[in-house]
Amino acid sequence: MAKAGDFLRTSRNIVRSRFTKKLERVAQEAFTEAKKSFEEDFNKHQITQELSSHVSPSPILKANGWNRRGSLFGFMGFNVGSDPIQHLRIILDNDELGLRFKLNKNIFKRAVGILGELKSPTPEDLEAGGAKFEGWGDGRSWPQVLEDEGIENLAFFLGDKEIYGRSQEGTQVEAELNPGKHLAKMDYLGKMFKKVEKRFIKLLKEGARKR
């Protein structure tokens, strides 16, 4: 004859299993919606748009005091024919390096009130995925450099599609064309990651309450 304790443990396991499956569905829905919102922010960001369109003169460079022709793509020295934004999208979609969610395995412990979290790529993830400058730089990812400190030597940039650099959209010269100018640091992925992480938690909690 089954003991009362065995019956209670079996009942608890069934409840946990059902709740976990329910939470997995809710989490997947929350992740899909949060990621969609992130992608919208990513696609409309000025850095994304300028590196994709190769617009010249660059509005970003102009805002930093640059008064000549030249694209952001050319100033950052990407190789002609490369697509840093598409490369970044591939990293962000990667199951191991990109945006992914993780459910809390201890959700039934009283001390734990967090159902799960969204994991954003770290600077090391972006580096491992190859989102780096091409032919120069110290190995850090280019989004991290843009956000942490910006890029020096804007004063020495000559932007013109008739001048051959690695990008064929500009090159660095010896003379200062715009003395003292540099590309100041800008908000990019870091700010968007914080926003999508908060949105995921909000959607996850709302979804769990509804079901």
Task: List pLDDT tens digits, range 142-164.
Answer: 999 999 999 988 877 877 766 66
pLDDT at site 41 = 97
Which residue did the predictor score with more confidence, 1 or 149? 149
Q: What is the DSSP letter of 178?
A: S
What band does 64 get if pLDDT is binned at 50, 70 and 90?
very high
- pTM for the structure as a whole: 0.82
Average pLDDT over residues 84-110: 82
24 vs 165: CA distance, rounded Å? 50
Residue 103 has pLDDT above 70, yes or no: yes
Residue 165 has pLDDT above 60, yes or no: yes
pLDDT at site 7 = 40
Q: Is the peptide bond before 57 cis (omega within 30 degrees of 0)?
A: yes
98 vs 120: CA distance, rounded Å? 6
For 171, other C-beta atoms within 10 Å of its C-beta total 19
Which of 58-62, 120-124, 132-136 shows the lowest mean pLDDT across its residues? 132-136
Smallest CA-to-CA distance from 24 within 115, 120, 151 is with 115
pLDDT at site 3 = 52
Average pLDDT over residues 3-22: 52
Structure tokens at 175: 């003379």
Instruction: Give pairs for 43-52: CB < 8 Å, separation 24+.
Output: 45/188, 45/192, 47/72, 47/146, 47/186, 47/188, 48/85, 51/76, 51/78, 51/84, 51/85, 52/83, 52/85
pLDDT at site 102 = 79
Average pLDDT over residues 194-206: 88
Q: What share of the chain is helix, strand, coil (3-state, %, to 5)?
A: 50, 10, 40
Q: What percent of the chain has pLDDT over 90?
A: 42
Type of residue at 78: F
Cβ contact 26:204 at 8 Å: yes
Average pLDDT over residues 31-52: 95
82 vs 11: CA distance, rounded Å? 57
Backbone dihedral region for residue 102 (phi beyond 0: left; psi -120 to 50: alpha; all else: beta):
beta
